[in-house]
């Protein structure tokens, strides 16, 4: 986040006529009680801001009604060089992964995460960020991860179809190198008691250091993710040591997950230190540090830097430590509006803020 610029004109406007930018004055004597606020900032919700929360994943076959829109072909080696990631927990390499285009979320092998709900993602440029597990498909043993603070722009599109015999590009190793295999057969396997429809058998069979990697076809589209069987299987229809969970299964998991993006406030804040006070307010709050240029906080008029605002409440919840604000945000998604109670110049204001999306990460 960039440090907020000096905005004397905006500051004067807010102090003299707070309602002009969405601030609503809170009369003294009621600092601890939230007041109903009418949003007057004129901010609008971004398109596609509706959210369908993650749904329980059953063991039913892949929904055949899921459609994957075709996209322009790209060089598969170049595409995978940007989209391949490695996943770690406590410094230990867990698996490969691949970033989805226009989404920023990451697909990998579920069991390779070894029960971890949060992992560290290492991108192609060496940058490492934390990501949370947001959806899974136990039948195909695939997982969907959501980065906590942004979306990597170099992702790959799902393949609407792939022919048998097509050469495939995969990543493997640490750091990941790129190699080729082939789509030998698309068939149905029986993994324990689960039927895996339209899974890909790859030739040669990828080695264990490719688990979780994306399998790109000759058009540079994601046709499968390399996974291992979830249960012990035997017989003529048992899956091999590794196989490809198909794009249709990935698309169905993403569809069920819906929008799991974390909301962005556009500012950073810290709890008050020992001996610090807020003018005109008894109690605690969070001191605004940095306000991102063009972010939701700057749009609504919050100030940081040398003369910062202090956020006392969020949606009626008193804020004493940073985790209090994080717990409020967990109930929201980008596009939602929340009300912040802000202390400025000895006065209290209720400030509506429309939550945004984290900006794209810089490759």
Question: Is 223's pLDDT higher than 50?
Answer: yes
pLDDT tens for each residue of 179-219: 999 999 988 888 877 888 899 999 999 999 999 999 999 99
Superfamily (CATH H level) for 8-47+262-357: PDZ domain (2.30.42.10)
* pLDDT at position 194: 83
Question: Is 39's pLDDT higher than 90?
Answer: no
- Please give the structure tokens belonging to residue 73: 């072909």
Name 10's Cβ contacts closer than 8 Å, sequence gap at least 6: 21, 301
pLDDT band at 28 (very low <50, low <70, confident <90, very high): low
What does the alpha-carbon distance between residue 112 and residue 212 come to, in Å, rounded to a whole number?
7
pLDDT tens for each residue of 293-309: 999 999 999 998 878 89
Looking at the chain, the whole-number percentage of residues with pLDDT higher than 70 is 80
* pLDDT at position 19: 42
* pLDDT at position 225: 97
Residue that has been written with the tokens 């971004």 in this structure: 46
- Please give the structure tokens belonging to residue 277: 């006070």
What does the alpha-carbon distance between residue 64 and residue 118 come to, in Å, rounded to a whole number?
30
Question: Is 67's pLDDT higher than 90?
Answer: no
pLDDT tens for each residue of 226-269: 999 876 666 677 888 899 999 999 999 999 988 888 899 999 99
Q: Positive or negative, the Cα torsion across 323, 328, 333, 339?
A: negative
Residue 290 φ then ψ, to 5° = -115, 140
Question: Is 26's pLDDT higher than 80?
Answer: no
> How would you classify residue 333: left for phi > 0, otherwise alpha for psi between -120 and 50, otherwise beta?
beta
pTM for the model stands at 0.72
> Worst-scoring range by mean pLDDT, 99-108, 267-276, 315-324?
267-276
CA distances, 192 to each of 79, 109, 140, 210 (Å): 35, 17, 12, 23
Residue 18 φ then ψ, to 5° = -55, -35
* pLDDT at position 261: 82
What does the alpha-carbon distance between residue 156 and residue 81 come to, in Å, rounded to a whole number?
10
CATH fold label, 76-257? Thrombin, subunit H (2.40.10)
Average pLDDT, the chain: 81
Neighbours of 172 (CB within 10 A): 20
Question: Is 16's pLDDT higher than 70?
Answer: no
Closest CA to 42 of 70, 63, 69, 23: 23
Where are the domains positioned within the chain? Answer: 8-47+262-357, 76-257
- Please give the structure tokens belonging to residue 189: 């396997």
What does the alpha-carbon distance between residue 1 and residue 217 come to, in Å, rounded to a whole number?
37
pLDDT band at 282 (very low <50, low <70, confident <90, very high): low
What does the alpha-carbon distance between residue 80 and residue 66 come to, in Å, rounded to a whole number?
24
pLDDT band at 22 (very low <50, low <70, confident <90, very high): low
Question: Which of the pair, 277 or 229, is modelled with greater confidence?
Answer: 229
- Beta strands 177-191 and 167-172: pairing type? antiparallel
pLDDT tens for each residue of 115-145: 999 999 999 989 999 999 999 999 999 999 9
């Amino acid at each position: 986040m960039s440090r907020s610029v000096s905005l004397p004109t905006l500051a004067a406007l807010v102090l003299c006529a707070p309602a002009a930018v969405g601030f609503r004055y809170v009369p003294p004597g009621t600092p601890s009680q939230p007041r109903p606020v009418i949003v007057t900032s004129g901010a609008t919700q971004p398109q596609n801001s509706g959210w369908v929360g993650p749904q329980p994943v059953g063991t039913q076959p892949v929904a055949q009604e899921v459609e994957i829109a075709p996209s322009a072909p790209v060089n598969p080696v170049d595409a995978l060089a940007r989209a391949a990631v490695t996943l770690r927990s406590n410094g230990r390499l867990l698996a490969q992964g691949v970033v989805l285009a226009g989404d920023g979320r990451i697909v990998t092998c579920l069991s390779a995460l070894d029960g971890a709900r949060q992992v560290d993602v290492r991108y192609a440029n060496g940058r490492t960020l934390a990501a949370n597990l947001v959806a899974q498909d136990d039948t195909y043993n695939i997982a969907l991860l959501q980065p906590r603070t942004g979306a990597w722009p170099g992702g790959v599109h799902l393949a609407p179809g792939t022919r048998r015999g097509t050469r495939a590009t995969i990543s493997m190793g640490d750091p990941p190198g790129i190699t080729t295999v082939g789509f030998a057969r698309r068939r149905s396997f029986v993994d324990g008691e689960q039927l895996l429809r339209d899974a890909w058998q790859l030739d040669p069979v990828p080695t264990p250091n490719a688990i979780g990697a994306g399998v790109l076809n000759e058009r540079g589209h994601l046709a499968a993710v390399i996974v291992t069987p979830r249960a012990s299987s035997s017989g003529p229809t048992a899956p091999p040591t590794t196989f490809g969970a198909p794009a249709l299964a990935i698309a169905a998991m993403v569809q069920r997950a819906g929008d799991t993006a974390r909301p962005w406030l556009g500012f950073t804040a810290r709890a008050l230190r020992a001996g610090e006070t807020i003018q005109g307010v008894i109690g605690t709050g969070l001191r605004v540090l940095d306000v991102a240029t063009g972010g939701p906080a700057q749009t609504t008029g919050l100030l940081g830097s040398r003369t910062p605002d202090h956020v006392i409440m969020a949606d009626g919840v008193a804020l004493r430590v940073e985790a209090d604000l994080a717990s409020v945000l967990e109930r929201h998604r980008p596009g939602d509006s929340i009300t912040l109670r802000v202390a400025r110049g000895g006065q209290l204001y209720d400030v509506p803020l429309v939550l945004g999306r984290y900006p794209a990460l810089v490759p």
